Structure 1
Amino acid sequence: MASKIPESANFDEQFLTCPVCMLHFRDPRVLPCLHTFCRECLQEWATKQQPLECPTCRTQVSLPDQGVDGLRTNFYVNNLLDFAAVKKGAGPGVSCQVCEGKGEGARSWCVQCAVLLCESCTNTHRRFPTLKGHQIVTQENLEASEGVPSSFQRKAFCPEHEDQVLTFYCEPCQTLVCVACTVVDHRPGDQHNPLKIGSVAERKKRDLQKLIANVAHREKDVRDTLKEVEREISELPTSADAAIEQATAYFDQLIALLQGRKEEVVTEIVSRRQEVGKCLETQKEAIEFELTGLTSASEFCKQALEHGSDVHVIEDEGQARQRVAELMTTPSDLTARPSQVVFSEGTAVAEFGDVVTRAGCVQIKVKVDASNCSVEIKPAVEGFSNVSLLSTVDKNGQLCSVLKDDVTATLTDPSGQAVPTQLQEKGRGLWEISYTPEVTGNHSLEVKVNGGSVAGSPFDVRVQSMDTPVLTIGRYGSGEGEVSRPTDVAVDMDGNIAVVEWGNERVQIFDARTGQSLRCFPVDGGYPFGIDTDSSGQFILTFDF
């Protein structure tokens, strides 16, 4: 059996190179996070940071008591290194590393001795009793193999008995042992149970298959999510550019509106200036004409007084009196006229600034799984405003905001006529769907998020008559859920209904959705009559003495 390995072009780089030193592994050791590095590289890395972090995944690692030397050796990488060396060295013209080329070229490889052998040395090697158990891999096997042959593996020797191969596994100790260990330190009994490696390995292989199966589903989800994230990364520039175009067009429209209004106001100012100027010029001409007449009359009278004889005065006084009477009969209008054109701010700059800061909103669109979203249908009454609550969640089930345009809610009455609905986000991922049905009967509410139907949509909304109780709370009595002579109700901060009972001298809290009693507390000091809540949620009671 052969283990598949990558093509030779990527063989060294992907499997045989240490990520730290970027050289072929030297004594490869495996961290608990299953990443492999050279022993020396890990020792140097451990001196630079505490606690130790994996150089690849940054997972914090707890080293065994022996430090890096206590980490497991990656035998698979060692096998690959040996195999790569043999594949490279067993080619034509390569001499035997034992007889140094005195015979024919190298034809095989001793796994334990890690040397290339010619055919003659191979036969000699096999005849030595102490070398009889060594694994010989021929050139034919190497050339015919697409991967690493199962026989091409270094034998693992016991650290306590260096000439003994590890052939048993002591389960209580969870340690690989040799035959000698089973006689001395791991003798079968109550504390030790050495088993042949083959049977234990088969069980471990089944366990590894289960681990692979357990990882496979999550790995698929992660790979799918990774592809989705990569797709979203590739689409991000497009969506951002589209958002920039939309924002630019939006603000260009606002700027155009302001520019248009500016031109209208400036044009109106110019027009009003012409109107006011014309009015003032007309008034000026009339005043100047009257002033000329008054000045002329005054001068005439002065001349008659200063230079005229009595005869002249008598003769001119009548004419002067007639002229002054004419001037005083039709005087010019001296009342105030529009004299200035001023600009008045319809909206203060500061107020407009607040509006501008709310003009346009940048949001990050979250991937919402419509099938995980939910809608809570509340009882509805004809002619009254009613609401249903929508919760939008992401793929992980966490509440998340979505764009209003991505949410649609359509309510139809029993006859199929659409009922106007309104959507309003009340909090992160929480939406109110409000509507006022005009007829009784079963209505249908279809809710979609990002074009996908919410789980359970369309929903049945039963609209009752205004004369039919939507919720009945309690019955007569003094037990839990029973009431006696209720006098007032209030709604607490959690939306529950608090009922004050004059007969039982207590306050009982009911669930507003189910009508079930949640709790109650007695009231001392008289007969409770009224109830309300303050801003902190505390109940305020009034009493009837």
Structure 2
Amino acid sequence: MASMPSFQSRKQEEFKEEFLTCPICAESYDDSKHKAKCLPCLHSFCASCLQRYIKERKSFACPKCRQTVQLETEGDLSSLPNNFIVENLKEYHDIFNLCVPCGNCDDGENAVSFCHDCVCFVCQGCVDMHQKMRSLRGHSLSTMTELREKKCNPMSLCQQRCEKHPKQEMTLYCQDESCKVPVCPTCAHVEHRGHDLVYIEVTVEKTTEELQGAAGKVRAQLEELTLIKTAIKQAQSRLMLSFRQKETEMQGTVEELHRMIDLRKEEACTKMDDLFKNEEKRLEEYEKSVDMLSFQMSSACEYTESSCSINHHVQLLDSSRHIMQRLQELQSTPLPMAEIESKEFVVSEKHVVAMGQFQDSIKNLCDLTLVVSKSPTSESFSSPDVEFPPPPKINFATYEEGSKSNSNESSVEVPPQTKTPSSEKTKKLSGKNTKKPPAKKVVNEPPQPAVDTDQCTITLDPNPWRGKPCKAEVTTVNSDNKPIPRGGAKVQASLKWAKSQMGGLPCPVVDHDNGTYTITYTPLLYGDNELAVYINDTSMEGSPFIVIAGQENS
């Protein structure tokens, strides 16, 4: 062998375990039961393990890479080649450890030298015999130490000898399609006469170049696979980052909703408590007035009955006018029945609408999907044959397009959201229209006025507060920039938090029938909110508008 691994850089046990043992049974390879067999995928296992593994099958999967292996005959491993690399490594390992048996005698002693003329290992007794016998005295001997220092394996020299003519080396190679084997000069002259013969060195050099060229192409593909694996790791990292960001965002949104609900609960309880106390106080005052009037009437009746029951006619006649006057006064006093109406707490229609909007928002809160990230920072790997897609990105699904929410003023359809920010609170619209969503056909729908959304204007509430209703006035104009004197335009609006991926909540719109429309919106979160406005299914220029909501007591 031209080159062998260095045993000084690796412990012998580790070398033996890695190269000279079967990965299934962990037994050392040998020349019989545990002979190393090489599969088409170039993975090696001992014949015993493979025989138990395949049983009587004609095909099986490699225990390492799962590639399918086809046999010529069911359960027959003879068609699989032996792993000559393992055999040579084993021979080199035996030489290094001085455990090669003598091949010249039957004493069973380990060899101490190699005879290049006899082409075999010899023990110390055979070495002494070479020195005594004249016919053997001229043979060339090399000790095991010399063999190790030269880093060559004399057993490979044995393999280069012809089995039919042991004294001759196989220096030629038959290139005929029916042969393709190394031969010695005698075999070439007898069995391969007239065949295409070349020196074995030429064939080895050519074969080595072909194998190394093919291995270079595979190694290039391996480098591409390494890049693909790196891209997969990056995609996994970005997916995890997107997951953590959305998880944090959703957690923050839920916590904010909890905080807002608790705040509204406190406000509602306080309002209900105030209403209850005021009404209770009013009823208590009525009860006191009724008790006082009842006491006065009862006292007057008792006094009258007492006066009539006493036989003092003169005194009775003298006080009768005073008693009658008091009884007439009490008789003419109106009873407080009209002020004692039955009252109860009633949930307004706005509350019902808000509950429906809130339920839709809660449903959309967990409506997630995976989309391909289109950000400039997304990295992708591409090769001549493979296109590796960028990693998926987690987004919150937008509010379902076309869903409706009822209110006291009108029925509002939720428009799709755009992503063009605007920092002006009051701006005149100019520029091109955005893409129009598909309009829905409505039976007997009145004709809509021709509105030029490029020139329409909107006036936002100058002091928006979180949780407080705000107003936005929209004025529609035609293509001549003249106000439209009538209503009927389809004005839609929705409001959402600027940092949220959720769809916006619909906002009520009032048509004043004079070309102006009032949008009522309530910022749910303080900070930047986005108000999206559509007229006749066309987004207003600059929509969504930024609404910076303040927070009370801040």
| Distance change (3 Å), C-alpha of 1:69 and 1:82 | same
Structure 1 pair 57–296 and aligned structure 2 pair: CA distance change class (3 A): same
Q: Report the Cα offset of residue 356 of structure 1.
A: 3.0
2:84 equivalent to 1:82: no
Change (3 A) 1:305 1:409: closer
1:283 aligned residue: 286
Tell me the residue number matched to 2:50.
42
Q: Which amino acid aligns with 1:16?
A: L
Q: Is residue 96–residue 148 contact of structure 2 (8 Å, CA) maintained in 1? A: yes
How far apart are residue 33 of structure 1 and its match?
A: 1.0
Q: CA deviation at 1:46?
A: 0.8
| Residue 24 (str. 1) matches residue 28 (str. 2) | yes
Q: Is the counterpart of residue 71 in structure 1 residue 80 in structure 2?
A: yes
- Does the 8 Å contact 2:370/2:395 carry over to 1? no
User: Counterpart in 2 of 1:383?
Assistant: none
Q: For 2:213 and 2:235, how far apart are their aligned partners in 1? A: 33
SS of residue in 1 equivalent to 2:159: coil
Q: Deviations over 1:39-69 (max 9, x none)?
A: 2221121118774110111111112338311
Equivalent position amino acid for 1:79 in 2: N
CA shift digits 1:128-153 (9 cap, x unpaired)? 999x99997853242243xx569846
Structure 1 residues 115 and 157: alpha-carbon distance in aligned structure 2, compared to 1, 3 A threshold: closer
What letter matches 1:77 in structure 2? V
Distance 1:350 1:86, change over 3 A: farther
Counterpart of 1:106 in structure 2 is 112
Residue-by-residue CA offset, 1:483-504 (whole Å, 9 max, x unaligned):
xxxxxxxxxxxxxxxxxxxxxx
CA distances 1:491-533 after superposition (whole Å, capped 9, x unpaired): xxxxxxxxxxxxxxxxxxxxxxxxxxxxxxxxxxxxxxxxxxx
Counterparts of 2:301 and 2:24, CA distance in 1? 115
Q: Distance in 1 between matches of 2:143 and 2:432?
A: 82
Contact 1:297/1:320, CA 8 A, preserved across alignment: no
SS in 1 for 2:365: coil
SS of 1:68 mapped into structure 2: coil
1:316 paired with 2:320, answer yes
Distance in 2, matches of 1:221 and 1:262, equals: 60
- Out of 160, 173, 178, the residue aligned to residue 168 of structure 1 is 173
Q: Secondary structure at the match of 1:3?
A: coil
5+ residue gaps, structure 1, are 375-394, 413-417, 427-435, 440-465, 467-545
Measure the CA separation in 2 of the matches of 1:396 and 1:360: 32
Name the structure 2 match of 1:382.
Answer: none
Quick one: which amino acid aligns to residue 42 of structure 2?
A: L
Query: Aligned with 2:95: secondary structure?
Result: helix
- 1:402 aligned to 2:407? no
1:5 aligned counterpart, secondary structure: coil
Aligned residues: 394
| Conserved 8 A contact 1:111-1:136 | no
Deviation at 1:286, TM superposition (A): 1.7
Q: When the two structures are superposed, what TM-score results if normalisation uses the length of structure 1? A: 0.54
CA 1:264–1:30: 2 relative to 1, 3 Å: same
Code of the residue aligned with 1:80 in structure 2: it is: L
- The counterpart of 1:121, out of the listed 121, 127, 136, is 127
Specify the alignment match of 2:60 in structure 1: 52
Displacement after TM superposition at 1:199 (Å): 2.8
1: CA distance between counterparts of 2:308 and 2:434? 91
**TM-fit CA distance, 1:117:** 4.6
SS of structure 1 residue aligned to 2:77: helix
Q: Distance in 1 between matches of 2:142 and 2:291?
A: 132
Per-residue deviation at 1:351?
Answer: 7.5
Q: Is the 8 A contact 2:242 2:394 kept in 1?
A: no
Q: Which amino acid aligns with 1:88?
A: N
- d(CA) in 1 for partners of 2:63 and 2:118? 32
The AA in structure 1 aligned to 2:173 is F
8 A contact 2:91–2:153 mirrored in 1: no
Q: 1:155 to 1:411 in 2, by over 3 A?
A: farther
> Closer, same or farther in 2 for the Cα pair 1:95/1:78, shift >3 Å?
closer
Change over 3 Å in CA distance of 1:342–1:404 after alignment to 2: closer
CA RMSD of aligned residues (A): 5.7
Q: Do the aligned partners of 2:104 and 2:122 also contact (CA within 8 Å) in 1?
A: yes
In 2, Cα distance between equivalents of 1:308 and 1:254: 81
Deviation of the 1:212 alpha carbon: 1.8
Could you tell me which of 35, 49, 70 is aligned with 1:62? 70
More relative contact order, 1 or 2 (CA 8 Å, 6+ apart): 2
CA 1:338–1:75: 2 relative to 1, 3 Å: same
1:58-113 per-residue CA deviation (whole Å, 9 max, x = no partner) reads: 111112338311111111111111001111117xxx99775799999824487997
In 1, the alpha carbon distance for the partners of 2:366 and 2:266 equals 25
Query: Cα–Cα, structure 1 residues 23 and 122, in superposed 2: closer, same or farther, change >3 Å?
Result: farther
Q: Offset at 1:353?
A: 5.6
Residue aligning to 1:12: 16
Alignment partner, residue 272 of structure 1: 275
Please state which structure has a larger fraction of its residues in strand.
Answer: 1
Return closer, same or farther for 1:323/1:171 CA change in 2, 3 Å cut-off.
Answer: farther
Q: Which amino acid aligns with 1:89?
A: L
- Report 1:501-540 matches (<5 A): none
Residue in 2 that maps onto 1:490: none
On the 8 A contact 1:46/1:52 being kept in 2, the answer is yes
The separation in 2 between residues aligned to 1:268 and 1:353, in whole angstroms, is 24
Distance 2:140 2:343 in 1: 118
Distance (Å, rounded) in 2 between the aligned partners of 1:306 and 1:11:
134
State the match for 1:143 in structure 2: 149
Change (3 A) 1:100 1:149: closer
1:445 matched to which residue of 2?
none
Query: The residue matched to 1:21 in structure 2 has which SS?
Result: coil
Question: In structure 2, do the counterparts of structure 1 residues 105 and 207 end up closer, same or farther at CA, with 3 Å as the change threshold?
Answer: closer
Q: Provide the residue aligned with 1:219 in structure 2.
A: 222
- 1:211 CA displacement: 0.9
CA distance in 2, matches of 1:334, 1:153: 127
- Aligned residue for 1:8, secondary structure, equals coil
Match for residue 204 of structure 1 among 197, 202, 207: 207
1:169, 1:200 within 8 Å by CA — same for their partners in 2? no
Q: Deviations over 1:16-48 (max 9, x none)?
A: 222111222232111111111112221121118
Maintained 8 Å contact 2:20/2:28 = yes
Instruction: Report the secondary structure of 1:402's partner residue.
Output: strand
**CA distance in structure 2 between the partners assigned to 1:33 and 1:201 by the alignment:** 22
Alpha-carbon offset, residue 232 of structure 1 = 7.1
Structure 1 residues 286 and 36, CA, compared in 2 at 3 Å: closer, same or farther? same
Q: Distance in 2 between matches of 1:220 and 1:73?
A: 30
Q: 1:359 aligns with which of 356, 359, 365?
A: 365
User: Are 1:292 and 2:292 an aligned pair?
Assistant: no
Shift of 1:319: 4.0
Residue 3 of structure 2 corresponds to 3
**Residue identity opposite 1:5 in structure 2:** P
> What is the aligned partner in structure 2 of residue 513 from structure 1?
none
Equivalent positions of 1:385-400 (< 5 A) are 396=387, 398=389
3-state SS, counterpart of residue 214 of structure 1: helix
CA deviation profile, 1:344-378 (whole Å, cap 9, x unmatched): 8757989856543432566678787959999xxxx
Match for residue 484 of structure 2? none
**Given residue 205 of structure 2, which amino acid in structure 1 is its aligned partner?**
E
Q: State the shift of 1:195 in Å.
A: 4.8
Task: State the SS of the aligned residue for 1:173.
Answer: coil
* 1:110 and 1:116 in contact (8 A); partners too: no
Whether the aligned pair in 1 keeps the contact of 2:174 and 2:180 (CA below 8 Å) is yes
